[in-house]
Chains A and B, each alone.
Chain A
Amino acid sequence: MSSNEQIIRHAGGNAFPWSVTAEMPEQRAQDMDEISLLARIADKDQDAFKQLYALYRKRLFAYLLKVLSQPETAEEVLDDVMFEVWRQATRFQGNSTLATWIFGIAHHKAMNALRQRGKHKAVELEAVDEPLTSPDNPYTEAEKSHLREKMKTALAQLSQDHRAVLELTFYHGFSYVEIAEIVRCPVNTVKTRMFHAKRQLQVWLHKMGL
Protein backbone atom coordinates (compact mmCIF):
# COMPACT_ATOMS: atom_id res chain seq x y z
CA MET A 1 0.00 0.00 0.00
CA SER A 2 1.41 3.38 -0.95
CA SER A 3 1.50 6.28 1.48
CA ASN A 4 -1.16 7.80 -0.73
CA GLU A 5 -3.51 4.88 -0.18
CA GLN A 6 -2.68 4.77 3.50
CA ILE A 7 -3.70 8.37 4.07
CA ILE A 8 -6.97 7.92 2.18
CA ARG A 9 -7.66 4.73 4.11
CA HIS A 10 -7.15 6.59 7.38
CA ALA A 11 -9.44 9.32 6.20
CA GLY A 12 -12.16 6.80 5.45
CA GLY A 13 -12.16 5.51 9.02
CA ASN A 14 -14.42 6.69 11.82
CA ALA A 15 -11.95 9.24 13.09
CA PHE A 16 -13.91 12.20 11.74
CA PRO A 17 -17.13 13.29 13.42
CA TRP A 18 -18.86 13.66 10.07
CA SER A 19 -17.92 10.15 9.02
CA VAL A 20 -20.14 8.85 11.85
CA THR A 21 -22.98 11.33 11.76
CA ALA A 22 -23.03 11.94 8.01
CA GLU A 23 -23.15 15.64 8.82
CA MET A 24 -21.64 18.37 6.68
CA PRO A 25 -21.36 16.47 3.39
CA GLU A 26 -19.89 19.49 1.57
CA GLN A 27 -17.26 19.88 4.24
CA ARG A 28 -16.49 16.19 3.95
CA ALA A 29 -16.03 16.42 0.18
CA GLN A 30 -13.68 19.35 0.68
CA ASP A 31 -11.74 17.47 3.35
CA MET A 32 -11.44 14.45 1.07
CA ASP A 33 -10.04 16.68 -1.69
CA GLU A 34 -7.49 18.11 0.72
CA ILE A 35 -6.58 14.65 1.98
CA SER A 36 -6.05 13.52 -1.60
CA LEU A 37 -3.67 16.44 -2.01
CA LEU A 38 -1.81 15.43 1.13
CA ALA A 39 -1.61 11.86 -0.13
CA ARG A 40 0.06 13.12 -3.29
CA ILE A 41 2.38 15.29 -1.20
CA ALA A 42 3.34 12.19 0.74
CA ASP A 43 4.44 10.78 -2.63
CA LYS A 44 6.57 13.92 -3.15
CA ASP A 45 4.24 15.65 -5.61
CA GLN A 46 5.18 19.34 -5.62
CA ASP A 47 2.16 20.35 -7.71
CA ALA A 48 -0.12 19.00 -5.00
CA PHE A 49 1.92 20.90 -2.44
CA LYS A 50 1.43 24.13 -4.39
CA GLN A 51 -2.34 23.56 -4.40
CA LEU A 52 -2.44 22.89 -0.67
CA TYR A 53 -0.23 25.91 -0.04
CA ALA A 54 -2.67 28.08 -1.98
CA LEU A 55 -5.58 26.71 0.06
CA TYR A 56 -4.00 27.38 3.45
CA ARG A 57 -1.69 30.32 2.83
CA LYS A 58 -4.05 33.14 3.81
CA ARG A 59 -5.83 31.28 6.61
CA LEU A 60 -2.62 30.25 8.27
CA PHE A 61 -1.01 33.64 7.84
CA ALA A 62 -4.06 35.36 9.36
CA TYR A 63 -3.95 33.08 12.37
CA LEU A 64 -0.19 33.37 12.81
CA LEU A 65 -0.32 37.13 12.47
CA LYS A 66 -3.01 37.35 15.12
CA VAL A 67 -1.06 35.15 17.49
CA LEU A 68 2.40 36.52 16.76
CA SER A 69 1.46 40.10 15.92
CA GLN A 70 4.52 40.54 13.70
CA PRO A 71 4.20 40.02 9.93
CA GLU A 72 7.87 39.04 9.48
CA THR A 73 7.70 36.40 12.17
CA ALA A 74 4.35 35.20 10.85
CA GLU A 75 5.91 34.80 7.38
CA GLU A 76 8.80 32.79 8.78
CA VAL A 77 6.53 30.55 10.81
CA LEU A 78 4.23 30.08 7.80
CA ASP A 79 7.27 28.81 5.86
CA ASP A 80 8.12 26.49 8.73
CA VAL A 81 4.57 25.16 8.93
CA MET A 82 4.28 24.37 5.24
CA PHE A 83 7.74 22.82 5.17
CA GLU A 84 6.68 20.65 8.10
CA VAL A 85 3.53 19.64 6.21
CA TRP A 86 5.77 18.44 3.37
CA ARG A 87 8.07 16.55 5.73
CA GLN A 88 5.35 15.01 7.88
CA ALA A 89 2.81 14.23 5.15
CA THR A 90 3.31 10.48 5.51
CA ARG A 91 2.62 10.69 9.23
CA PHE A 92 -0.90 12.13 8.97
CA GLN A 93 -3.04 9.45 10.58
CA GLY A 94 -6.51 10.80 9.83
CA ASN A 95 -7.41 11.07 13.51
CA SER A 96 -8.51 14.64 12.85
CA THR A 97 -9.36 16.77 9.85
CA LEU A 98 -6.46 17.96 7.76
CA ALA A 99 -7.18 21.58 8.73
CA THR A 100 -6.99 20.65 12.41
CA TRP A 101 -3.70 18.85 11.81
CA ILE A 102 -2.16 21.77 9.91
CA PHE A 103 -3.41 24.38 12.39
CA GLY A 104 -2.04 22.19 15.18
CA ILE A 105 1.39 22.41 13.57
CA ALA A 106 0.94 26.17 13.12
CA HIS A 107 -0.09 26.72 16.72
CA HIS A 108 2.84 24.69 18.00
CA LYS A 109 5.31 26.57 15.78
CA ALA A 110 3.81 29.92 16.79
CA MET A 111 4.16 29.09 20.48
CA ASN A 112 7.80 28.10 19.88
CA ALA A 113 8.41 31.36 18.06
CA LEU A 114 6.89 33.29 20.96
CA ARG A 115 9.08 31.45 23.43
CA GLN A 116 12.16 32.22 21.34
CA ARG A 117 11.15 35.82 21.14
CA GLY A 118 10.71 35.86 24.88
CA LYS A 119 7.41 37.59 24.56
CA HIS A 120 4.21 35.96 25.52
CA LYS A 121 2.36 39.22 25.71
CA ALA A 122 0.88 40.51 22.52
CA VAL A 123 2.31 43.49 20.72
CA GLU A 124 0.14 45.90 18.89
CA LEU A 125 -0.70 44.89 15.36
CA GLU A 126 0.71 47.20 12.79
CA ALA A 127 -1.76 49.58 11.24
CA VAL A 128 -3.18 48.34 8.00
CA ASP A 129 -4.84 50.59 5.52
CA GLU A 130 -6.22 48.02 3.14
CA PRO A 131 -9.77 48.69 2.00
CA LEU A 132 -12.58 46.38 3.09
CA THR A 133 -14.37 44.86 0.15
CA SER A 134 -17.03 42.65 1.70
CA PRO A 135 -20.40 43.76 0.28
CA ASP A 136 -22.27 42.08 3.12
CA ASN A 137 -20.61 44.08 5.83
CA PRO A 138 -23.24 46.37 7.42
CA TYR A 139 -20.75 48.96 8.69
CA THR A 140 -19.66 52.06 6.87
CA GLU A 141 -15.96 52.42 6.10
CA ALA A 142 -15.48 54.91 8.95
CA GLU A 143 -17.33 52.67 11.39
CA LYS A 144 -15.32 49.66 10.26
CA SER A 145 -12.07 51.46 10.76
CA HIS A 146 -13.14 52.68 14.18
CA LEU A 147 -14.39 49.27 15.27
CA ARG A 148 -11.33 47.54 13.93
CA GLU A 149 -8.99 49.76 15.87
CA LYS A 150 -10.98 49.34 19.06
CA MET A 151 -11.18 45.61 18.60
CA LYS A 152 -7.47 45.29 17.87
CA THR A 153 -6.77 47.17 21.09
CA ALA A 154 -9.14 44.94 23.03
CA LEU A 155 -7.79 41.72 21.50
CA ALA A 156 -4.25 42.81 22.28
CA GLN A 157 -5.14 42.74 25.95
CA LEU A 158 -5.96 39.06 25.83
CA SER A 159 -3.44 36.32 26.51
CA GLN A 160 -2.18 34.24 23.57
CA ASP A 161 -4.29 31.30 24.66
CA HIS A 162 -7.50 33.29 24.90
CA ARG A 163 -6.90 35.05 21.60
CA ALA A 164 -6.17 31.73 19.90
CA VAL A 165 -9.48 30.26 21.05
CA LEU A 166 -11.39 33.33 19.85
CA GLU A 167 -9.72 33.35 16.45
CA LEU A 168 -10.03 29.61 15.90
CA THR A 169 -13.72 29.73 16.85
CA PHE A 170 -15.02 32.86 15.19
CA TYR A 171 -12.78 33.31 12.18
CA HIS A 172 -11.59 29.83 11.31
CA GLY A 173 -14.76 28.02 12.36
CA PHE A 174 -13.26 25.17 14.32
CA SER A 175 -15.35 23.24 16.83
CA TYR A 176 -14.28 23.18 20.46
CA VAL A 177 -13.11 19.56 20.01
CA GLU A 178 -10.90 20.58 17.09
CA ILE A 179 -9.53 23.57 19.00
CA ALA A 180 -8.61 21.25 21.87
CA GLU A 181 -6.61 19.16 19.39
CA ILE A 182 -4.97 22.21 17.81
CA VAL A 183 -3.82 23.81 21.05
CA ARG A 184 -3.32 20.42 22.74
CA CYS A 185 -5.43 20.91 25.82
CA PRO A 186 -8.61 19.35 27.27
CA VAL A 187 -11.99 20.33 25.81
CA ASN A 188 -13.11 21.88 29.10
CA THR A 189 -10.04 24.11 29.06
CA VAL A 190 -11.11 25.41 25.66
CA LYS A 191 -14.57 26.22 27.01
CA THR A 192 -13.06 27.94 30.05
CA ARG A 193 -10.72 30.02 27.88
CA MET A 194 -13.64 31.08 25.72
CA PHE A 195 -15.59 32.13 28.81
CA HIS A 196 -12.73 34.26 30.15
CA ALA A 197 -11.89 35.71 26.73
CA LYS A 198 -15.50 36.87 26.27
CA ARG A 199 -15.65 38.38 29.72
CA GLN A 200 -12.37 40.29 29.32
CA LEU A 201 -13.34 41.52 25.88
CA GLN A 202 -16.72 42.70 27.11
CA VAL A 203 -15.03 44.63 29.91
CA TRP A 204 -12.55 46.24 27.51
CA LEU A 205 -15.09 47.04 24.85
CA HIS A 206 -17.37 48.52 27.51
CA LYS A 207 -14.49 50.67 28.74
CA MET A 208 -13.95 51.85 25.18
CA GLY A 209 -17.59 52.80 24.93
CA LEU A 210 -18.70 49.99 22.61
Chain B
Amino acid sequence: MSNVRERELTHEAAAELLAWYVSESLPESEASQVKTHVAGCAECQQEIASLTALKNTVHLTNEALPEPAADGLDRVLKRITAYEEAQAKSFLSKLRRLFAIPWSFPKVAFAGQIAIWLLLLGTVILTLQRARYYESLAMQERARAEQSEKQLAEAQRQYTVLTGPNQIDVTNSARLNVVFQEKTTEKEIRLLLTALNGTIISGPSPQRFYVVALPVAQGTDRQQVLRVALEQLQSQPQFIFFAAEKTD
Protein backbone atom coordinates (compact mmCIF):
# COMPACT_ATOMS: atom_id res chain seq x y z
CA MET B 1 0.00 0.00 0.00
CA SER B 2 1.18 3.49 -0.76
CA ASN B 3 2.41 5.73 2.05
CA VAL B 4 0.25 8.54 0.71
CA ARG B 5 -2.83 8.92 2.88
CA GLU B 6 -5.91 7.86 0.97
CA ARG B 7 -8.50 10.46 0.20
CA GLU B 8 -11.53 10.00 2.44
CA LEU B 9 -14.88 9.37 0.78
CA THR B 10 -17.91 11.47 1.57
CA HIS B 11 -20.87 9.58 3.00
CA GLU B 12 -22.80 9.92 -0.27
CA ALA B 13 -19.89 8.65 -2.36
CA ALA B 14 -19.36 5.72 -0.02
CA ALA B 15 -23.07 4.91 0.17
CA GLU B 16 -23.44 4.55 -3.58
CA LEU B 17 -20.53 2.08 -3.68
CA LEU B 18 -21.81 -0.14 -0.85
CA ALA B 19 -23.58 -2.63 -3.14
CA TRP B 20 -20.30 -3.41 -4.92
CA TYR B 21 -18.43 -3.36 -1.63
CA VAL B 22 -20.75 -6.11 -0.44
CA SER B 23 -20.41 -8.03 -3.71
CA GLU B 24 -16.62 -7.64 -3.46
CA SER B 25 -16.24 -6.24 -6.96
CA LEU B 26 -14.68 -2.89 -6.08
CA PRO B 27 -11.05 -2.30 -6.98
CA GLU B 28 -8.79 -2.65 -3.94
CA SER B 29 -8.17 1.07 -3.57
CA GLU B 30 -11.89 1.93 -3.59
CA ALA B 31 -12.75 -0.98 -1.31
CA SER B 32 -10.18 0.28 1.17
CA GLN B 33 -11.67 3.79 1.12
CA VAL B 34 -15.19 2.43 1.63
CA LYS B 35 -13.99 0.20 4.47
CA THR B 36 -12.41 3.20 6.19
CA HIS B 37 -15.63 5.16 5.89
CA VAL B 38 -17.88 2.29 7.01
CA ALA B 39 -15.82 1.73 10.15
CA GLY B 40 -17.04 5.04 11.48
CA CYS B 41 -20.52 5.23 9.91
CA ALA B 42 -23.43 3.47 11.62
CA GLU B 43 -25.78 4.23 8.73
CA CYS B 44 -23.51 2.53 6.22
CA GLN B 45 -23.03 -0.45 8.55
CA GLN B 46 -26.78 -0.87 8.66
CA GLU B 47 -26.99 -0.51 4.88
CA ILE B 48 -24.28 -3.16 4.48
CA ALA B 49 -26.32 -5.57 6.60
CA SER B 50 -29.35 -4.86 4.44
CA LEU B 51 -27.40 -5.28 1.20
CA THR B 52 -25.83 -8.51 2.43
CA ALA B 53 -29.30 -9.91 3.06
CA LEU B 54 -30.33 -8.74 -0.39
CA LYS B 55 -27.29 -10.41 -1.94
CA ASN B 56 -28.13 -13.67 -0.17
CA THR B 57 -31.71 -13.62 -1.34
CA VAL B 58 -30.68 -12.86 -4.92
CA HIS B 59 -28.36 -15.87 -4.73
CA LEU B 60 -31.21 -17.88 -3.28
CA THR B 61 -33.48 -17.11 -6.21
CA ASN B 62 -30.72 -18.07 -8.65
CA GLU B 63 -29.95 -21.34 -6.93
CA ALA B 64 -33.46 -22.51 -7.62
CA LEU B 65 -33.38 -21.73 -11.31
CA PRO B 66 -33.68 -24.55 -13.81
CA GLU B 67 -30.69 -25.50 -15.92
CA PRO B 68 -30.64 -24.85 -19.65
CA ALA B 69 -31.59 -27.75 -21.89
CA ALA B 70 -28.89 -30.37 -22.41
CA ASP B 71 -29.13 -30.20 -26.19
CA GLY B 72 -28.38 -26.47 -26.31
CA LEU B 73 -24.77 -27.01 -27.38
CA ASP B 74 -25.79 -29.34 -30.22
CA ARG B 75 -28.26 -26.76 -31.50
CA VAL B 76 -25.63 -24.04 -31.54
CA LEU B 77 -23.03 -26.31 -33.16
CA LYS B 78 -25.47 -27.22 -35.93
CA ARG B 79 -26.12 -23.56 -36.50
CA ILE B 80 -22.39 -22.84 -36.56
CA THR B 81 -21.75 -25.64 -39.07
CA ALA B 82 -24.49 -24.35 -41.37
CA TYR B 83 -23.12 -20.83 -41.04
CA GLU B 84 -19.55 -21.88 -41.83
CA GLU B 85 -20.68 -23.88 -44.86
CA ALA B 86 -22.60 -20.89 -46.17
CA GLN B 87 -19.58 -18.70 -45.53
CA ALA B 88 -17.27 -21.06 -47.37
CA LYS B 89 -19.56 -20.94 -50.39
CA SER B 90 -19.54 -17.21 -50.53
CA PHE B 91 -16.61 -15.83 -52.51
CA LEU B 92 -17.16 -12.37 -51.15
CA SER B 93 -17.04 -13.60 -47.60
CA LYS B 94 -13.74 -15.28 -48.39
CA LEU B 95 -12.39 -11.94 -49.50
CA ARG B 96 -13.73 -10.29 -46.36
CA ARG B 97 -12.06 -12.91 -44.20
CA LEU B 98 -8.83 -12.48 -46.05
CA PHE B 99 -8.79 -8.81 -45.18
CA ALA B 100 -10.07 -9.40 -41.66
CA ILE B 101 -7.13 -11.64 -40.87
CA PRO B 102 -4.34 -9.67 -39.22
CA TRP B 103 -1.28 -9.46 -41.47
CA SER B 104 1.75 -11.48 -40.41
CA PHE B 105 5.22 -11.29 -41.97
CA PRO B 106 4.79 -14.36 -44.24
CA LYS B 107 1.47 -13.00 -45.46
CA VAL B 108 2.95 -9.58 -46.13
CA ALA B 109 5.89 -11.23 -47.92
CA PHE B 110 3.51 -13.34 -49.96
CA ALA B 111 1.41 -10.31 -50.82
CA GLY B 112 4.61 -8.46 -51.76
CA GLN B 113 5.64 -11.24 -54.10
CA ILE B 114 2.23 -11.24 -55.70
CA ALA B 115 2.47 -7.47 -56.13
CA ILE B 116 5.93 -7.76 -57.73
CA TRP B 117 4.75 -10.47 -60.10
CA LEU B 118 1.75 -8.38 -61.05
CA LEU B 119 4.05 -5.41 -61.61
CA LEU B 120 6.35 -7.48 -63.81
CA LEU B 121 3.41 -8.88 -65.74
CA GLY B 122 2.07 -5.37 -66.21
CA THR B 123 5.48 -4.16 -67.43
CA VAL B 124 5.77 -7.02 -69.92
CA ILE B 125 2.28 -6.40 -71.25
CA LEU B 126 2.96 -2.68 -71.53
CA THR B 127 6.30 -3.30 -73.29
CA LEU B 128 4.69 -5.70 -75.75
CA GLN B 129 1.96 -3.21 -76.48
CA ARG B 130 4.51 -0.43 -77.04
CA ALA B 131 6.62 -2.72 -79.28
CA ARG B 132 3.54 -3.55 -81.31
CA TYR B 133 2.72 0.14 -81.58
CA TYR B 134 6.22 1.10 -82.79
CA GLU B 135 6.26 -1.84 -85.17
CA SER B 136 3.02 -0.60 -86.74
CA LEU B 137 4.56 2.89 -87.01
CA ALA B 138 7.63 1.42 -88.76
CA MET B 139 5.42 -0.51 -91.16
CA GLN B 140 3.56 2.68 -92.01
CA GLU B 141 6.88 4.46 -92.62
CA ARG B 142 8.12 1.63 -94.82
CA ALA B 143 4.91 1.73 -96.83
CA ARG B 144 5.23 5.49 -97.14
CA ALA B 145 8.89 5.15 -98.32
CA GLU B 146 7.92 2.51 -100.87
CA GLN B 147 5.16 4.77 -102.11
CA SER B 148 7.64 7.66 -102.41
CA GLU B 149 10.10 5.48 -104.31
CA LYS B 150 7.37 4.41 -106.69
CA GLN B 151 6.32 8.02 -107.19
CA LEU B 152 9.95 9.02 -107.85
CA ALA B 153 10.44 6.19 -110.28
CA GLU B 154 7.25 7.21 -112.06
CA ALA B 155 8.40 10.84 -112.17
CA GLN B 156 11.77 9.80 -113.58
CA ARG B 157 10.01 7.73 -116.16
CA GLN B 158 7.80 10.66 -117.19
CA TYR B 159 10.36 13.52 -117.13
CA THR B 160 13.79 13.13 -118.81
CA VAL B 161 16.50 15.80 -118.34
CA LEU B 162 18.03 16.50 -121.70
CA THR B 163 20.82 18.89 -120.74
CA GLY B 164 23.39 19.21 -117.96
CA PRO B 165 26.75 17.71 -117.21
CA ASN B 166 25.31 14.25 -116.78
CA GLN B 167 24.06 14.24 -120.36
CA ILE B 168 27.50 14.84 -121.86
CA ASP B 169 29.24 11.89 -123.38
CA VAL B 170 32.70 12.55 -121.99
CA THR B 171 34.40 10.06 -124.25
CA ASN B 172 33.08 11.79 -127.40
CA SER B 173 33.62 15.42 -126.44
CA ALA B 174 36.24 18.09 -126.81
CA ARG B 175 36.97 20.18 -123.78
CA LEU B 176 38.09 23.74 -123.45
CA ASN B 177 39.44 25.81 -120.58
CA VAL B 178 37.69 29.13 -120.72
CA VAL B 179 38.06 32.28 -118.63
CA PHE B 180 35.33 34.84 -119.21
CA GLN B 181 35.85 38.56 -118.85
CA GLU B 182 34.83 39.80 -115.42
CA LYS B 183 32.05 41.92 -116.87
CA THR B 184 30.59 39.15 -119.03
CA THR B 185 27.02 38.56 -117.96
CA GLU B 186 25.31 35.24 -117.46
CA LYS B 187 23.14 35.90 -120.51
CA GLU B 188 26.18 36.57 -122.69
CA ILE B 189 27.84 33.38 -121.45
CA ARG B 190 24.69 31.45 -122.24
CA LEU B 191 24.54 32.88 -125.78
CA LEU B 192 28.21 32.05 -126.33
CA LEU B 193 27.76 28.49 -125.18
CA THR B 194 24.61 28.07 -127.25
CA ALA B 195 26.49 29.24 -130.30
CA LEU B 196 29.20 26.69 -129.62
CA ASN B 197 26.72 23.99 -128.56
CA GLY B 198 28.93 23.73 -125.52
CA THR B 199 28.20 22.88 -121.90
CA ILE B 200 30.00 23.96 -118.76
CA ILE B 201 30.92 20.77 -117.00
CA SER B 202 33.14 22.21 -114.26
CA GLY B 203 34.19 25.48 -112.69
CA PRO B 204 34.72 28.13 -111.94
CA SER B 205 38.09 27.34 -110.33
CA PRO B 206 39.75 29.88 -108.02
CA GLN B 207 41.35 31.35 -111.15
CA ARG B 208 37.89 31.64 -112.84
CA PHE B 209 38.53 28.71 -115.19
CA TYR B 210 35.51 26.91 -116.60
CA VAL B 211 35.67 23.60 -118.39
CA VAL B 212 33.42 23.66 -121.44
CA ALA B 213 32.60 20.39 -123.20
CA LEU B 214 31.83 20.39 -126.91
CA PRO B 215 30.03 17.42 -128.45
CA VAL B 216 31.96 15.70 -131.22
CA ALA B 217 29.70 13.97 -133.69
CA GLN B 218 30.70 10.58 -134.98
CA GLY B 219 32.97 10.90 -138.00
CA THR B 220 33.90 14.49 -137.15
CA ASP B 221 37.45 15.57 -136.46
CA ARG B 222 37.83 16.47 -132.84
CA GLN B 223 40.67 18.90 -133.46
CA GLN B 224 38.59 20.60 -136.09
CA VAL B 225 35.76 21.11 -133.61
CA LEU B 226 38.20 22.55 -131.10
CA ARG B 227 39.77 24.86 -133.59
CA VAL B 228 36.44 26.28 -134.78
CA ALA B 229 35.28 26.77 -131.23
CA LEU B 230 38.51 28.49 -130.19
CA GLU B 231 38.30 30.80 -133.17
CA GLN B 232 34.76 31.80 -132.28
CA LEU B 233 35.67 32.48 -128.69
CA GLN B 234 38.85 34.28 -129.39
CA SER B 235 37.03 36.49 -131.87
CA GLN B 236 35.05 37.95 -129.02
CA PRO B 237 37.66 39.29 -126.58
CA GLN B 238 35.09 41.59 -125.01
CA PHE B 239 33.60 38.40 -123.47
CA ILE B 240 36.48 35.94 -123.39
CA PHE B 241 39.60 36.59 -121.43
CA PHE B 242 41.21 33.21 -122.18
CA ALA B 243 40.33 30.04 -124.12
CA ALA B 244 42.46 26.96 -124.85
CA GLU B 245 42.10 23.24 -125.27
CA LYS B 246 41.94 21.40 -121.99
CA THR B 247 44.53 18.74 -121.70
CA ASP B 248 44.38 16.13 -118.94
- Seen from chain A, the residues whose Cβ lies within 8 Å of a Cβ on chain B are 1-3, 5-6, 17, 21, 23, 44, 46, 49-50, 53-54, 57-58, 61-62, 65-66, 71, 74-75, 78-79, 82-83, 86-87, 90, 128, 130, 132-134, 137, 139, 144, 147-148, 151-152, 155, 166-167, 169-171, 173-176, 178, 191, 194-195, 198, 201-202
Within 8 A of A (CB), among B1-41: 16-17, 19-20, 22-29
Q: Are B80 and A86 in contact (CB under 8 A)?
A: yes
Given A79-B79, A130-B66, A195-B16; A173-B72 close (CB under 8 Å): no
Rounded to whole angstroms, the CA-CA distance of A107 and B147 in the bound complex is 87
Rounded to whole angstroms, the CA-CA distance of A138 and B16 in the bound complex is 28
Chain B interface residue count, Cβ-Cβ cutoff 8 angstroms: 43
Q: Are A132 and B64 in contact (CB under 8 A)?
A: yes
Which residues of chain A come closer than 8 Å to B61, judged between CB atoms?
A: 66, 148, 151-152, 155
How close is A169's CB to chain B, nearest CB, in angstroms?
5
Most buried by B among A2, A53, A137, A170: A170
Q: Are B50 and A202 in contact (CB under 8 A)?
A: yes
Q: Are A137 and B60 in contact (CB under 8 A)?
A: yes
Which residues of chain A come closer than 8 Å to B19, judged between CB atoms?
A: 169-170, 194, 198
Cβ of B54 < 8 Å from any Cβ of A? yes
Q: Are B26 and A58 in contact (CB under 8 A)?
A: no
Most buried by A among B19, B26, B79: B19
Rounded to whole angstroms, the CA-CA distance of A191 and B12 in the bound complex is 11
Which residues of chain A come closer than 8 Å to B25, judged between CB atoms?
A: 169, 173-176, 178
Q: Are A128 and B64 in contact (CB under 8 A)?
A: yes
Fill in one digit per residue for B47-58: 1 if any A CB lies within 8 Å of its CB, else 0.
000110011011
Given A2-B102, A44-B84, A147-B57; A169-B20 close (CB under 8 Å): yes
Rounded to whole angstroms, the CA-CA distance of A170 and B61 in the bound complex is 11
Top-7 shortest CB links A-B: A61-B68, A170-B58, A175-B25, A170-B55, A1-B102, A151-B57, A191-B16
Rounded to whole angstroms, the CA-CA distance of A86 and B23 in the bound complex is 30
Rounded to whole angstroms, the CA-CA distance of A90 and B69 in the bound complex is 28
Of all chain B residues, the one with the shortest Cβ separation from A46 is B77
Given contacts A2-B104, A83-B80, A152-B61, 17 further A-B contacts (CB under 8 A): A1-B103, A49-B80, A66-B61, A66-B65, A71-B66, A75-B69, A79-B72, A128-B66, A147-B60, A169-B20, A171-B59, A173-B23, A174-B25, A176-B17, A176-B25, A178-B25, A198-B54
Of all chain B residues, the one with the shortest Cβ separation from A127 is B64
Cβ of B67 < 8 Å from any Cβ of A? yes
How close is A133's CB to chain B, nearest CB, in angstroms?
8
**What would 7 A/B residue contacts be, using CB atoms closer than 8 Å?**
A46-B77, A50-B73, A61-B68, A75-B69, A176-B25, A191-B17, A194-B16
How close is B16's CB to chain A, nearest CB, in angstroms?
5
